[in-house]
Structure 1
Amino acid sequence: MVYSIKVHEDFVAELNKLDPTIKQQLRKKLDNVIENPHIPKNRLSGELHNCYKIKLRKAGVRLVYQVNDDEIYILLLTVGKREDNEVYDTALKRV
């Protein structure tokens, strides 16, 4: 089953700030995620236990998404640098 993608209203602005090569890498990873969004090793914990991450190690970028199985879509919450857990704090505000 392929999930559709929805984005948080502020997600696009964050994405546009990233380098085009990073956007391309994220797009490739998202292509895999839409077919199987529940990847156990990428599941977050704590207050974000119902969210998952996509990480680009070399770039230090994280994308946080939430899966809605009832309506079959993935909500892209935030994307940005991992520094000081800023991306996770932003995701927590948007859940």
Structure 2
Amino acid sequence: MRRGGRGRAGRAGHRVDGTPAAQHAPEHLSEREEEILRCIRRWIEDKGEGPSGRQLAHAVGMRSTASVAYHLANLERSGALIRDGRGWNTCRLGH
């Protein structure tokens, strides 16, 4: 039985094989993911921390925070985004 709530990812910011996610080249990102990444970059520059999922959804014109979470998980998996805590406002850019 697994413990720690991190599933297969192991340590935060690391892939299953134990290497930091940022060391892997990003996979192809969708246009929406590129837009989300640009928004996060601007938000961090302006406010000093990443946006919440709800703030990000509003900023990119999405209604569903679940859809935003899906894209954020893809960005994290590709190494383009690294989450330092549980929330997305603690994220930083990976590449």
TM-score normalized by the length of structure 1: 0.32
Report which of the two structures shows the higher radius of gyration computed on alpha carbons.
2
